Amino acid sequence: MPAPAERRIIFKHIDEPGYTPDLACYLRHGGYAILRKALAMAPAAIIDEVKKSGLRGRGGAGFGCGLKWSLVDRKSGKPIYLVVNADESEPGTFKDRYIIHQDPHQLLEGIMVSSWANNVRQAYIYIRGEFPHGARILEKAIAEARAANLVGPNVLGSGYSCEIYVHRGAGAYICGEETGLIESLEGKRPYPRIKPPYFPAVLGLYQCPTIVNNVETLCHVKHIVDVGGEEFAKIGTPGNTGTRVLCVSGHVRRPGYFEFEVGRITLGQLLHEVCGGPLPGRTFKAIIPGGSSAKVLRWGETFTLKNKDGSTRTLAVEDIPMDFDTLAACGTMGGSGGVIVMDDSVNMVEALANINAFYAHESCGQCTPCREGSLWMKKITTRMVHGQARAEDGALLLGVADQIAGRTICAFGEACSWPTQSFLAKFGDEFRAYPGTKATPRPESVPLA
């Protein structure tokens, strides 16, 4: 059941008794009416509505959807592709899978509306390899929609044709990076491309202009066409419009997925009122607010933020509204909406060892800093938790992370170094005093210079 503070648009029918993923059920709930409406609109008008809506991408970066669409090269004469990023791999994130599993036609309708708006004739759903069940559901849903003339040639007699294909990944986190995804879709190793020159909007899939959007983002497009961009922009807060799904995992009484108007709920409300607060006898310690790549927040810390008029205000961590801009101002990010909660039972060195192991395993290996740095950080934290910690390991970890962030081909460099940087910044004492720490550094590690 939805929590009282929720406003469910995307997740309206998720977990609703009797709601099934087949086409008949979707049509009973008014499905594909918005596709009909969209097909009667001019494509440019739909793009306009999306721009007016202020919709920001729900995959992680929060890039404006209308802006992304407006960057597409429409004069090249090449086909424009829409690629749906269903490679939901960010640790702590589990929202797209519920859309795919329980309401696949909502996604398909969003894809068709967006395709029509952008003159796309082929759309690909790139779904992560670990979602075999989701891939089967999507295949079935596409077949149903195609049989009903909702996807495929001459959609609903409009003369517009668009095919949707499902492509399964082989199990690599890096395929969620849009250019890595495109390489994988082309049948290659998912090495992210250098930008410039390979911006997907100009040189994407098969060197053609390509739009890569997250599953949740495309579902929102459907609702924007439904209510209109201006109306949609009234949901949420200015600059942070609409609703978004937050996935809460970790040490709360009632973890789960919830949909709120963006910025209309604070971190404290989310954890205490919606998720039931900490487990009995425990207290909150650390929160990662946007998937494991986001910088960690320390429970109890306060932030001094600048107001628009130049004055400053102080914000406690529990009062942070869960939007894009405030989280960014607090030095972290809304990311993919995966809120990971750690309480006082957690040792931060061990938590970081876990995260580092993930990123070392998932680094694609293309560019030097991420390839070597992520494994080095893992080796350090693994050694630390196996009783070989040294007093200087914290500083070393930070030094390694600082050599990665900002110097790599793709954002994985930041994704793998931000946890280390933020853990050290906010819980550095735990690293300096981790059990097993030797008092003196080993001689060979002392700089000669």
Partner 1 sequence: MSAAPPTDLVPVTIDGQEIAVPKGTNVIEAARRVGVDVPFYCYHPKLSVVGNCRMCLVELGQPAVDPATKAPVMDPVTGRQRINWIPRPQIGCATSVTPGLHVRTQTPQIKACREGVMEFLLINHPLDCPICDQAGECKLQEQATGYGRGYSRFIEQKNVKPKRTQLGPRVMLDDERCILCSRCIRFCKEIAKDDVLGFTDRGSYSTLTCYPGRQLTNNYSLNTVDLCPVGALTSTDFRFKMRVWFLKQTPGIDPESSAGANTVVWSREGVIYRITPRENDAVNDAWMADSGRELYKQVRAPGRLAGVRVAGTPATLDAAVARAGELFRAAAGRVAVVGSGRSSVEEQWLTRRLAEALQAPAYLVSRVGEGDGLLVSADRNPNVRGALVTGLLRALPAQRLDELAAAIDAGRVTTVVSVGEDLAAAGLTPAQLAKVQVVHLGTAESPTSQAAAVLLPALTVFEKAGCFVNQQFRLQRFQRAVPGPAGTHDDLESLARLIGAAGGAAAPADLAGVWCELAAAVPALAGRTFTSVPDLGLPLDPAPFAGLPFVEGPGLHFTPARA
Classify 193 in phi/psi space as left (phi over 0), alpha (psi -120 to 50) or beta.
beta
- The answer to the question of residue 203 lying near partner 1 (CB under 8 A) is no
Task: Say what angle helices 104-117 and 43-53 make with each other, to 10 degrees.
Answer: 110
The answer to whether 112 and 119 have CB atoms below 8 angstroms apart is no
- Which of 255, 372, 391, 411: binder of partner 1 (CB under 8 A)? 372
Residue 14: CB partners within 8 Å, gap ≥ 6? 8, 98, 99, 102, 103, 257
Give 244: exposed, middle or buried? Use CB within 10 Å, 0-12, 13-18, 19+: buried
- Which of 124, 376, 418, 431: binder of partner 1 (CB under 8 A)? 376
Q: Would you say 183 or 318 has its CB closer to partner 1?
A: 183
314's tokens: 């102080």
- The answer to the question of residue 396 lying near partner 1 (CB under 8 A) is yes
Q: Would you say 286 or 375 has its CB closer to partner 1?
A: 375
- The answer to the question of residue 362 lying near partner 1 (CB under 8 A) is yes
- The answer to the question of residue 315 lying near partner 1 (CB under 8 A) is no
Q: Within positions 405 to 444, which residues make up the interface with partner 1, using CB under 8 A? A: 406-409, 442, 444
Neighbour tally for 198: CB within 10 Å:
15
Q: Would you say 336 or 381 has its CB closer to partner 1?
A: 381
Q: How far is the CB of 439 from partner 1 (least distance, A)?
A: 16
Q: Which stretch binds partner 1 (CB under 8 A): 175-183, 300-308, 336-344, 368-376?
A: 368-376
- The answer to the question of residue 373 lying near partner 1 (CB under 8 A) is yes
Q: Which stretch binds partner 1 (CB under 8 A): 82-90, 102-110, 341-349, 360-368?
A: 360-368
247's tokens: 């996935």
Q: Which stretch binds partner 1 (CB under 8 A): 46-54, 74-82, 284-292, 378-386?
A: 378-386
Q: Would you say 172 or 205 has its CB closer to partner 1?
A: 172
- Which of 1, 40, 44, 449: binder of partner 1 (CB under 8 A)? 449
Can you tell me the distance from the alpha carbon of 449 to that of 262, in angstroms, rounded to the nearest whole number? Answer: 51
β-bridge partners, 341: 250, 287
Classify 300 in phi/psi space as left (phi over 0), alpha (psi -120 to 50) or beta.
left
β-bridge partners, 120: 80
- Which of 123, 317, 346, 375: binder of partner 1 (CB under 8 A)? 375
- The answer to the question of residue 286 lying near partner 1 (CB under 8 A) is no
Among 356, 416, 408, smallest CA distance to 381 is for 356
Sort strands 120-127 and 163-168 into parallel, antiparallel or unpaired: parallel
Q: Which stretch binds partner 1 (CB under 8 A): 177-185, 189-197, 327-335, 339-347?
A: 189-197
Q: Collapsing DSSP states into helix, strand and coil, what is residue 284?
A: strand
Q: Which stretch binds partner 1 (CB under 8 A): 104-112, 153-161, 269-277, 403-411?
A: 403-411
Give 208: exposed, middle or buried? Use CB within 10 Å, 0-12, 13-18, 19+: middle
Q: Would you say 271 or 367 has its CB closer to partner 1?
A: 367
Q: Would you say 262 or 370 has its CB closer to partner 1?
A: 370
- The answer to the question of residue 367 lying near partner 1 (CB under 8 A) is yes
Residues that bind partner 1 (CB under 8 A): 172, 189, 191, 194, 196-197, 360-369, 371-376, 379-380, 383, 396, 399, 402-404, 406-409, 442, 444-445, 447-449
